[in-house]
Protein backbone atom coordinates (compact mmCIF):
# COMPACT_ATOMS: atom_id res chain seq x y z
CA UNK A 1 0.00 0.00 0.00
CA UNK A 2 1.56 3.27 -1.11
CA UNK A 3 1.36 6.60 0.68
CA UNK A 4 -1.31 7.77 -1.80
CA UNK A 5 -3.49 4.67 -1.52
CA UNK A 6 -6.67 5.41 0.48
CA UNK A 7 -6.70 3.56 3.77
CA UNK A 8 -10.34 4.23 4.57
CA UNK A 9 -13.51 3.23 2.69
CA UNK A 10 -17.20 3.62 3.42
CA UNK A 11 -20.31 1.79 2.27
CA UNK A 12 -23.82 0.89 3.47
CA UNK A 13 -24.03 -2.26 5.58
CA UNK A 14 -27.82 -2.37 5.65
CA UNK A 15 -30.92 -0.48 6.75
CA UNK A 16 -32.94 -0.45 9.95
CA UNK A 17 -36.66 -1.32 9.79
CA UNK A 18 -37.45 2.42 9.75
CA UNK A 19 -35.24 2.89 6.70
CA UNK A 20 -32.26 4.58 8.33
CA UNK A 21 -29.02 3.37 6.75
CA UNK A 22 -26.32 1.62 8.77
CA UNK A 23 -22.90 2.59 7.46
CA UNK A 24 -19.72 0.55 7.47
CA UNK A 25 -16.25 2.09 7.54
CA UNK A 26 -13.23 -0.05 6.66
CA UNK A 27 -9.82 0.98 7.98
CA UNK A 28 -6.92 -0.66 6.13
CA UNK A 29 -3.40 -1.15 7.46
CA UNK A 30 -0.45 -3.25 6.32
CA UNK A 31 -0.33 -6.90 5.19
CA UNK A 32 -4.12 -7.08 4.70
CA UNK A 33 -4.96 -5.91 8.22
CA UNK A 34 -8.42 -4.31 8.32
CA UNK A 35 -10.96 -3.14 10.90
CA UNK A 36 -14.61 -2.98 9.79
CA UNK A 37 -16.75 -0.70 11.95
CA UNK A 38 -20.54 -0.35 11.63
CA UNK A 39 -22.68 2.45 13.00
CA UNK A 40 -25.21 0.06 14.55
CA UNK A 41 -23.89 -0.36 18.07
CA UNK A 42 -20.62 1.37 17.08
CA UNK A 43 -19.49 -2.22 16.61
CA UNK A 44 -16.33 -3.84 15.33
CA UNK A 45 -18.02 -6.03 12.74
CA UNK A 46 -14.85 -7.66 11.38
CA UNK A 47 -11.14 -7.62 12.14
CA UNK A 48 -8.96 -9.08 9.41
CA UNK A 49 -5.56 -10.18 10.72
CA UNK A 50 -2.67 -11.90 8.90
CA UNK A 51 -1.06 -15.03 10.36
CA UNK A 52 2.60 -16.01 10.31
CA UNK A 53 2.59 -16.81 6.58
CA UNK A 54 0.43 -13.85 5.56
CA UNK A 55 -2.95 -15.60 5.44
CA UNK A 56 -5.62 -13.10 6.46
CA UNK A 57 -8.71 -14.15 8.39
CA UNK A 58 -11.46 -12.46 10.36
CA UNK A 59 -10.77 -13.08 14.07
CA UNK A 60 -13.97 -11.74 15.68
CA UNK A 61 -17.38 -13.37 15.88
CA UNK A 62 -20.42 -11.58 14.50
CA UNK A 63 -22.72 -11.55 11.50
CA UNK A 64 -22.24 -11.10 7.78
CA UNK A 65 -25.26 -8.82 7.46
CA UNK A 66 -27.26 -6.38 9.54
CA UNK A 67 -30.20 -8.78 9.88
CA UNK A 68 -28.16 -10.99 12.18
CA UNK A 69 -27.42 -8.13 14.57
CA UNK A 70 -31.05 -7.02 14.59
CA UNK A 71 -32.43 -10.52 15.06
CA UNK A 72 -30.50 -11.45 18.20
CA UNK A 73 -28.61 -9.51 20.83
CA UNK A 74 -25.24 -11.01 21.69
CA UNK A 75 -23.03 -7.89 21.86
CA UNK A 76 -20.72 -9.13 19.08
CA UNK A 77 -18.06 -6.41 18.73
CA UNK A 78 -20.41 -3.80 20.19
CA UNK A 79 -19.80 -0.68 22.21
CA UNK A 80 -21.63 -1.42 25.46
CA UNK A 81 -22.87 1.09 28.02
CA UNK A 82 -23.81 3.22 29.79
CA UNK A 83 -22.49 0.63 32.19
CA UNK A 84 -20.64 -2.40 30.89
CA UNK A 85 -21.15 -5.52 33.00
CA UNK A 86 -23.66 -5.82 35.84
CA UNK A 87 -25.21 -3.59 38.48
CA UNK A 88 -26.90 -5.55 41.27
CA UNK A 89 -30.69 -5.26 41.21
CA UNK A 90 -30.32 -2.39 38.73
CA UNK A 91 -30.05 -0.06 41.69
CA UNK A 92 -27.49 2.26 43.27
CA UNK A 93 -27.29 5.47 45.27
CA UNK A 94 -25.69 8.53 43.66
CA UNK A 95 -25.13 11.67 45.72
CA UNK A 96 -27.77 10.53 48.19
CA UNK A 97 -30.41 9.77 45.57
CA UNK A 98 -31.60 6.25 44.76
CA UNK A 99 -31.33 5.43 41.05
CA UNK A 100 -33.37 2.55 39.66
CA UNK A 101 -32.31 1.22 36.26
CA UNK A 102 -34.12 -0.97 33.79
CA UNK A 103 -33.14 -4.60 34.42
CA UNK A 104 -32.43 -7.21 31.77
CA UNK A 105 -30.32 -9.94 33.40
CA UNK A 106 -32.67 -11.46 35.92
CA UNK A 107 -32.89 -8.92 38.71
CA UNK A 108 -29.79 -7.09 37.49
CA UNK A 109 -28.89 -4.47 34.87
CA UNK A 110 -26.42 -5.71 32.25
CA UNK A 111 -24.53 -3.74 29.57
CA UNK A 112 -26.77 -0.68 29.76
CA UNK A 113 -30.14 -2.39 30.04
CA UNK A 114 -32.67 -3.71 27.52
CA UNK A 115 -31.81 -1.00 24.96
CA UNK A 116 -28.17 -0.22 25.64
CA UNK A 117 -25.70 1.51 23.35
CA UNK A 118 -25.24 -1.70 21.35
CA UNK A 119 -28.84 -1.25 20.12
CA UNK A 120 -28.42 2.36 19.01
CA UNK A 121 -27.60 3.82 15.61
CA UNK A 122 -24.51 5.96 16.10
CA UNK A 123 -23.50 8.73 13.70
CA UNK A 124 -20.16 9.16 12.00
CA UNK A 125 -18.67 12.31 13.48
CA UNK A 126 -15.33 12.25 11.69
CA UNK A 127 -13.10 10.18 9.42
CA UNK A 128 -9.37 10.61 8.86
CA UNK A 129 -7.41 9.05 6.02
CA UNK A 130 -3.64 8.76 5.92
CA UNK A 131 -1.05 6.61 7.60
CA UNK A 132 -3.23 6.18 10.71
CA UNK A 133 -6.82 6.05 9.46
CA UNK A 134 -9.57 6.67 11.99
CA UNK A 135 -13.32 6.81 12.31
CA UNK A 136 -15.08 8.55 15.20
CA UNK A 137 -18.68 7.69 16.04
CA UNK A 138 -20.94 9.72 18.32
CA UNK A 139 -24.15 9.19 20.26
CA UNK A 140 -26.22 11.21 22.72
CA UNK A 141 -27.97 9.34 25.52
CA UNK A 142 -30.88 11.31 26.94
CA UNK A 143 -31.36 11.98 30.63
CA UNK A 144 -33.38 9.10 32.07
CA UNK A 145 -32.61 6.64 29.26
CA UNK A 146 -32.74 3.14 30.81
CA UNK A 147 -32.97 5.00 34.14
CA UNK A 148 -29.52 6.61 33.99
CA UNK A 149 -29.31 10.25 35.10
CA UNK A 150 -27.82 12.95 32.91
CA UNK A 151 -27.58 13.72 29.21
CA UNK A 152 -24.46 11.89 28.10
CA UNK A 153 -22.48 12.79 24.97
CA UNK A 154 -20.25 9.88 23.90
CA UNK A 155 -17.60 9.45 21.24
CA UNK A 156 -15.73 6.31 20.33
CA UNK A 157 -12.76 6.36 17.99
CA UNK A 158 -11.29 3.43 16.10
CA UNK A 159 -7.80 4.17 14.76
CA UNK A 160 -5.08 2.03 13.19
CA UNK A 161 -2.04 3.12 15.19
CA UNK A 162 0.36 0.58 13.70
CA UNK A 163 0.61 -1.82 10.76
CA UNK A 164 -1.44 -4.42 12.67
CA UNK A 165 -2.61 -2.40 15.66
CA UNK A 166 -6.08 -1.09 16.46
CA UNK A 167 -6.67 1.56 19.12
CA UNK A 168 -10.12 2.15 20.60
CA UNK A 169 -10.75 5.34 22.57
CA UNK A 170 -13.88 6.44 24.39
CA UNK A 171 -14.79 9.89 25.68
CA UNK A 172 -17.97 11.00 27.43
CA UNK A 173 -19.33 14.19 28.97
CA UNK A 174 -22.48 14.74 31.03
CA UNK A 175 -24.66 17.63 32.21
CA UNK A 176 -25.32 16.23 35.70
CA UNK A 177 -23.67 13.54 37.88
CA UNK A 178 -23.99 10.02 36.53
CA UNK A 179 -22.05 6.79 36.17
CA UNK A 180 -20.20 5.67 33.04
CA UNK A 181 -18.37 2.47 32.13
CA UNK A 182 -17.86 1.75 28.43
CA UNK A 183 -16.05 -1.06 26.64
CA UNK A 184 -15.77 -2.95 23.39
CA UNK A 185 -17.30 -6.41 23.52
CA UNK A 186 -15.47 -8.29 20.75
CA UNK A 187 -15.41 -12.08 20.76
CA UNK A 188 -11.94 -13.21 19.66
CA UNK A 189 -10.86 -16.44 18.01
CA UNK A 190 -7.33 -15.98 16.70
CA UNK A 191 -7.55 -19.13 14.58
CA UNK A 192 -10.33 -17.40 12.64
CA UNK A 193 -13.98 -16.75 13.37
CA UNK A 194 -14.99 -19.37 10.78
CA UNK A 195 -12.24 -21.87 11.59
CA UNK A 196 -14.46 -24.29 13.51
CA UNK A 197 -11.78 -24.45 16.20
CA UNK A 198 -12.53 -23.39 19.78
CA UNK A 199 -10.31 -21.19 21.95
CA UNK A 200 -9.59 -23.68 24.73
CA UNK A 201 -6.01 -24.20 23.51
CA UNK A 202 -5.38 -20.46 23.08
CA UNK A 203 -2.74 -19.49 25.61
CA UNK A 204 -3.66 -16.58 27.86
CA UNK A 205 -1.54 -14.35 30.08
CA UNK A 206 -3.16 -11.75 32.36
CA UNK A 207 -1.23 -9.13 34.32
CA UNK A 208 -3.36 -9.50 37.44
CA UNK A 209 -2.72 -10.90 40.91
CA UNK A 210 -6.38 -10.62 41.98
CA UNK A 211 -9.88 -11.28 40.65
CA UNK A 212 -13.45 -10.71 41.81
CA UNK A 213 -15.31 -13.75 43.06
CA UNK A 214 -18.97 -13.78 42.00
CA UNK A 215 -22.26 -15.25 43.16
CA UNK A 216 -24.35 -17.50 40.86
CA UNK A 217 -25.90 -14.41 39.21
CA UNK A 218 -22.40 -13.02 38.41
CA UNK A 219 -22.52 -10.19 40.96
CA UNK A 220 -19.25 -9.72 42.91
CA UNK A 221 -19.34 -11.19 46.39
CA UNK A 222 -19.19 -8.78 49.36
CA UNK A 223 -15.52 -9.39 49.96
CA UNK A 224 -12.14 -8.05 48.91
CA UNK A 225 -10.65 -9.27 45.62
CA UNK A 226 -9.20 -12.76 45.88
CA UNK A 227 -5.64 -13.71 45.06
CA UNK A 228 -5.31 -15.71 41.85
CA UNK A 229 -2.48 -17.80 43.29
CA UNK A 230 -3.30 -21.51 43.58
CA UNK A 231 -6.62 -21.09 41.74
CA UNK A 232 -7.81 -21.76 38.16
CA UNK A 233 -7.68 -17.96 37.75
CA UNK A 234 -3.91 -17.70 37.81
CA UNK A 235 -2.89 -16.61 34.31
CA UNK A 236 0.20 -14.70 35.37
CA UNK A 237 2.12 -17.20 33.26
CA UNK A 238 0.96 -18.25 29.81
CA UNK A 239 -1.66 -20.99 30.26
CA UNK A 240 -4.16 -22.63 27.93
CA UNK A 241 -7.65 -21.20 28.47
CA UNK A 242 -9.03 -24.72 28.77
CA UNK A 243 -6.33 -26.10 31.06
CA UNK A 244 -8.42 -25.66 34.21
CA UNK A 245 -11.82 -24.55 32.93
CA UNK A 246 -13.40 -27.94 33.84
CA UNK A 247 -11.88 -28.03 37.34
CA UNK A 248 -14.15 -28.56 40.33
CA UNK A 249 -14.24 -24.95 41.49
CA UNK A 250 -17.18 -22.97 42.86
CA UNK A 251 -16.21 -19.86 40.92
CA UNK A 252 -16.00 -21.70 37.60
CA UNK A 253 -19.40 -23.20 38.37
CA UNK A 254 -20.89 -19.78 39.14
CA UNK A 255 -19.59 -18.37 35.86
CA UNK A 256 -20.11 -21.54 33.79
CA UNK A 257 -16.44 -21.08 33.03
CA UNK A 258 -14.60 -17.77 33.07
CA UNK A 259 -16.83 -14.71 33.38
CA UNK A 260 -14.85 -12.73 35.91
CA UNK A 261 -13.19 -9.37 36.42
CA UNK A 262 -9.43 -9.39 36.86
CA UNK A 263 -8.11 -6.48 38.92
CA UNK A 264 -5.37 -4.54 37.14
CA UNK A 265 -2.80 -2.30 38.81
CA UNK A 266 -1.77 1.19 37.67
CA UNK A 267 -5.18 2.33 36.44
CA UNK A 268 -4.98 5.42 34.28
CA UNK A 269 -1.77 4.31 32.58
CA UNK A 270 -1.73 2.51 29.25
CA UNK A 271 -0.01 -0.82 30.03
CA UNK A 272 -0.07 -4.44 28.97
CA UNK A 273 -3.07 -6.21 30.50
CA UNK A 274 -3.29 -9.49 28.59
CA UNK A 275 -1.69 -11.58 25.86
CA UNK A 276 -3.55 -14.21 23.83
CA UNK A 277 -1.75 -16.70 21.56
CA UNK A 278 -3.25 -19.10 19.00
CA UNK A 279 -1.12 -22.27 18.57
CA UNK A 280 -2.14 -23.18 15.01
CA UNK A 281 -2.13 -19.83 13.21
CA UNK A 282 0.59 -18.29 15.37
CA UNK A 283 -1.48 -15.11 15.79
CA UNK A 284 -0.79 -13.15 18.96
CA UNK A 285 -2.94 -10.42 20.49
CA UNK A 286 -1.51 -8.08 23.11
CA UNK A 287 -4.12 -5.94 24.86
CA UNK A 288 -3.02 -2.68 26.44
CA UNK A 289 -5.46 -0.56 28.43
CA UNK A 290 -5.70 2.24 30.98
CA UNK A 291 -8.72 0.70 32.71
CA UNK A 292 -8.74 -0.78 36.27
CA UNK A 293 -10.33 -4.09 35.30
CA UNK A 294 -10.40 -6.73 32.59
CA UNK A 295 -13.46 -8.95 32.26
CA UNK A 296 -12.58 -12.37 30.84
CA UNK A 297 -15.52 -14.23 29.31
CA UNK A 298 -14.95 -17.63 27.71
CA UNK A 299 -18.12 -17.69 25.60
CA UNK A 300 -19.97 -19.81 28.13
CA UNK A 301 -23.48 -18.89 26.98
CA UNK A 302 -22.94 -19.55 23.28
CA UNK A 303 -25.19 -22.58 22.94
CA UNK A 304 -25.40 -23.32 19.22
CA UNK A 305 -28.58 -21.32 18.74
CA UNK A 306 -26.80 -18.38 17.07
CA UNK A 307 -25.97 -18.48 13.38
CA UNK A 308 -22.95 -16.30 12.73
CA UNK A 309 -20.58 -15.55 9.89
CA UNK A 310 -20.52 -17.96 6.95
CA UNK A 311 -23.53 -19.76 8.43
CA UNK A 312 -21.62 -21.17 11.38
CA UNK A 313 -23.39 -22.02 14.63
CA UNK A 314 -21.55 -20.46 17.56
CA UNK A 315 -21.03 -22.81 20.49
CA UNK A 316 -19.52 -22.63 23.96
CA UNK A 317 -15.85 -21.59 23.95
CA UNK A 318 -15.87 -20.65 20.27
CA UNK A 319 -14.40 -17.29 21.32
CA UNK A 320 -13.09 -15.34 24.28
CA UNK A 321 -13.86 -11.75 25.28
CA UNK A 322 -11.24 -9.47 26.82
CA UNK A 323 -13.20 -6.46 28.08
CA UNK A 324 -11.29 -3.56 29.71
CA UNK A 325 -13.57 -1.67 32.07
CA UNK A 326 -14.39 -0.41 35.55
CA UNK A 327 -15.24 -3.24 37.93
CA UNK A 328 -18.76 -4.72 37.89
CA UNK A 329 -21.25 -3.29 40.40
CA UNK A 330 -18.82 -0.50 41.31
CA UNK A 331 -21.63 2.04 41.95
CA UNK A 332 -22.65 -0.14 44.93
CA UNK A 333 -19.14 -0.70 46.23
CA UNK A 334 -17.20 2.12 47.85
CA UNK A 335 -14.14 -0.15 47.91
CA UNK A 336 -14.13 -0.49 44.09
CA UNK A 337 -12.80 2.02 41.54
CA UNK A 338 -15.35 4.77 40.99
CA UNK A 339 -17.51 5.02 37.86
CA UNK A 340 -18.91 8.46 38.78
CA UNK A 341 -18.75 11.21 36.16
CA UNK A 342 -19.53 14.83 37.05
CA UNK A 343 -20.24 17.80 34.80
CA UNK A 344 -17.01 19.44 33.70
CA UNK A 345 -15.09 16.17 33.84
CA UNK A 346 -14.38 13.85 30.93
CA UNK A 347 -14.66 10.07 30.99
CA UNK A 348 -11.77 8.54 29.05
CA UNK A 349 -10.92 4.97 28.16
CA UNK A 350 -8.08 3.95 25.85
CA UNK A 351 -7.31 0.38 24.79
CA UNK A 352 -4.93 -0.97 22.14
CA UNK A 353 -5.21 -4.33 20.33
CA UNK A 354 -1.73 -5.15 19.00
CA UNK A 355 -1.35 -8.16 16.71
CA UNK A 356 1.75 -10.11 15.70
CA UNK A 357 2.60 -13.70 14.80
CA UNK A 358 4.94 -16.39 16.07
CA UNK A 359 5.46 -18.67 13.09
CA UNK A 360 2.43 -20.94 13.20
CA UNK A 361 2.07 -23.67 10.56
CA UNK A 362 -0.93 -22.20 8.68
First and final C-alpha spacing in the chain: 24
Phi-psi category of residue 209: left, alpha or beta, with phi > 0 → left and psi -120 to 50 → alpha: alpha
Cα angle 244, 274, 292 (rounded to 5 degrees) comes to 110
Active site residue 36: no
Q: Which of 59, 66, 55 is nearest to 11 (CA)?
A: 66
Query: Which of 57, 165, 277, 323 does the annotation list as catalytic?
Result: 323
Write b or e for each residue in 127-162: b if 16 or more Cβ atoms lie within 10 A of its Cβ, otherwise e.
eeeeeebbbbbbbebeeebbbbbbbbebbbbbbbbb
Active site residue 323: yes
Cα–Cα distance, 145 to 58 (Å, whole number): 34
Query: Which of 185, 202, 260, 350 does the annotation list as catalytic?
Result: 185
Peptide bond before residue 220 is cis, with ω within 30 degrees of 0: no
Give the active site residues: 185, 323
Amino acid sequence: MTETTPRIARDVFGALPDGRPVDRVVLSGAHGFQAHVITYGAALQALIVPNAVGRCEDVVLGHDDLAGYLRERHFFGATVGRYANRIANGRFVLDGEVVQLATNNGAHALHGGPEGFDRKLWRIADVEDGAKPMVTLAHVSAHGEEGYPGRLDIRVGYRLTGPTELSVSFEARVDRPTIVNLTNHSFFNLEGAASGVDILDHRLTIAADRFLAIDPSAIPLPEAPRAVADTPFDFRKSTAVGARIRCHDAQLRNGRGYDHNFCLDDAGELRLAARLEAPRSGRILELLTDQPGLQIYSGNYLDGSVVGKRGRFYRQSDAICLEPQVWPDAPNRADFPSARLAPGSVYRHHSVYRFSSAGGPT
